[in-house]
C-alpha cells in the first residue's frame, strides 16, 4: 500500500476543510436567523448585524487554509503527489485535527454569541462594538488551533 500515507494526508486536509466549514455554515446560519429577525423590525441596522453574522465564517476559511497548506505540501496541488509513508500520512492527519475540531465547535459557539450580540444591536445599536468584541473572543481559540495546525504542517516538510 504505497499510497496509504498520501490518502491519510489528504483525509486530514479534507477533514480540516469540511469540519471547519460545517461549523462556519452552522454558526453563520444561527447568527443569520437572529439577524433576519432584527431586520424585519428595523432594516437600517443591516450593516451592523451583517458584520456579526459573518464573524463565525472565518473558521471555514481557516480550515480551507490548512487544507491548502497540506495539499500543496504533499504535492497534490502541484500535480505531483509525493510518496508518503503511512507514518508521514498519519502525522499530516494529526496536524489537521486541531483546526478541524476547534473550527467545528468554535464556529457554532461563535454563532450563538453573535446571535446574542445581534440581540444587543436590536435594543442598543450604539453598543455594537461590544457585541463584536464578545463574538471575537470566541474566535481566539480557533486562531490558536489554526496556528498549531499550520505550524505543524509547515514543519513536517
| Contacting positions for other proteins (CB under 8 A) | 51, 54-55, 57-58, 61-62, 64-65, 68-69, 77, 128-130, 132-133, 136-137, 139-140, 143-144, 146-147, 150-151, 154-155
Of 77 and 94, CB closest to other proteins: 77
Taking alpha carbons only, the member of 64, 83, 55, 52 closest to residue 13 is 64
Kindly give, in sequence order, each residue whose CB lies less than 8 Å from that of residue 53, ignoring residues fewer than 6 positions away: 28, 31, 32, 35, 114, 118
Of 4 and 154, CB closest to other proteins: 154
Q: CA 30 to CA 21: how far, in whole Å? A: 14
Smallest gap from residue 133 Cβ to other proteins (A) = 5
Of 95 and 139, CB closest to other proteins: 139
Q: CA 79 to CA 6: how far, in whole Å? A: 13
Distance of CA 40 to the CA centre of its chain: 29
Smallest gap from residue 2 Cβ to other proteins (A) = 27
Smallest gap from residue 56 Cβ to other proteins (A) = 11
Taking alpha carbons only, the member of 152, 157, 148 closest to residue 103 is 148
Smallest gap from residue 116 Cβ to other proteins (A) = 16
Of 38 and 139, CB closest to other proteins: 139
Amino acid at each position: 500500500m504505497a499510497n496509504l500515507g498520501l490518502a491519510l494526508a489528504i483525509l486530514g486536509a479534507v477533514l480540516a476543510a469540511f469540519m471547519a466549514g460545517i461549523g462556519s455554515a452552522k454558526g453563520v446560519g444561527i447568527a443569520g436567523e437572529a439577524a433576519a429577525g432584527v431586520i424585519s423590525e428595523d432594516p437600517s441596522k443591516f450593516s451592523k448585524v451583517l458584520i456579526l453574522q459573518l464573524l463565525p465564517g472565518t473558521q471555514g476559511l481557516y480550515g480551507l487554509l490548512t487544507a491548502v497548506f497540506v495539499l500543496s505540501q504533499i504535492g497534490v496541488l502541484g500535480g505531483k503527489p509525493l510518496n508518503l509513508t503511512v507514518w508521514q500520512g498519519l502525522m499530516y492527519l494529526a496536524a489537521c485535527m486541531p483546526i478541524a475540531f476547534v473550527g467545528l465547535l468554535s464556529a457554532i459557539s461563535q454563532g450563538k454569541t453573535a446571535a446574542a450580540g445581534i440581540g444587543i444591536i436590536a435594543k442598543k445599536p450604539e453598543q455594537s462594538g461590544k457585541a463584536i468584541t464578545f463574538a471575537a473572543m470566541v474566535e481566539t481559540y480557533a486562531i490558536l488551533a489554526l496556528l498549531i495546525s499550520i505550524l505543524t504542517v509547515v514543519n513536517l516538510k
